[in-house]
Amino acid sequence: MLRIYREEGIRGLFKGNLSAECLYLTYGGAQFMSYTFFERALRQTDIPSTAQSFLAGACAGAAGTTLTYPFDLLRTRFAAQTISSAYYPGIAKAVAMIWHDEGLAGFYRGVWPANLQIMPYMGLMFASYNAISRGYQVVRARFPAGWRFLDHWQDLLVGGMAGVASKTGVYPLDLIRKRMQVQGPHRARLASGAVPIYRNSVLAVMAAVVRDEGVAALFKGLVPALIKAGPTSAVMFLVYGQTRDLILYLSDKGSEDHRSGHRGDASQ
């Protein structure tokens, strides 16, 4: 962090942030909407509830990732370039340049490892969230009365633990996805030209990383990834839960007002 700040200034810590915001907005909506759809469909089966959560989360992750993947690729490429010698000057220009130089396929470099990573990741996320939530309810019964305030922060606590557990489980695929995203005809302009050339295959990239850098290299950057994943998942589940409860409350209140209005008309 200090090196990035020293060499590129405060802006260097926010490279790719705009495309990341576009990614999170669209991905979050697509993910939770599709999760609800898949969960309702699986509820009609005899599959155990934990497996239902895993499968619904995996399918929702794949749907959201495929729909929003170009934003993910743009974020990675902006983050990989240096401000002093930036190849992509902005999102609109980057889209035009990638389309011209690499075609539609250029926006989906690494989409397969992304889905291979996101499916177990989101499956583990929702399955571990539900499992930890059930564990919390068991432990909660033994809480002293003064600890019941944690109920207000359940989504935050459980979501954070679920995020750390799921990110750790699939991190090697996340690393491979990023390595593949910065491939392309202008690879030398990214990361100061230090990006190796990889074949367009998940197994080939994994084998090359292990051969050249060792098995531990598959977990490069895990600590900052967890520092990000824990709070991100915690806030995501908290805001989702609070927003859902607010919408349900307003919906119920609107229904009550509607019924009250009808009763008033009838009495008149």
pLDDT given for residue 267 in this prediction = 37
Interaxial angle between packed helices 111-140 and 49-80, expressed in degrees from 0 to 180 and rounded to the nearest 10: 130
* Domain span at 55: 2-83+91-267
pLDDT given for residue 266 in this prediction = 38
Q: What's the pTM?
A: 0.62
Q: How many structural domains are present in the chain?
A: 1
Residues 129, 159: contact at Cβ < 8 Å? yes
Q: In terms of residues, how long is the chain?
A: 268
- Cα distance between residue 151 and residue 264, in whole Å: 39
Give residue-wise pLDDT tens across range 100-113: 988 888 889 888 87
CATH number at residue 64: 1.50.40.10
Phi, psi dihedrals of residue 110, rounded to the nearest 5°: 85, 10
Residues 121, 166: contact at Cβ < 8 Å? yes
- Cα distance between residue 60 and residue 119, in whole Å: 8
Residues 19, 74: contact at Cβ < 8 Å? yes
> Does 35 score more than 70 pLDDT?
yes
Give residue-wise pLDDT tens across range 208-220: 889 988 999 899 8
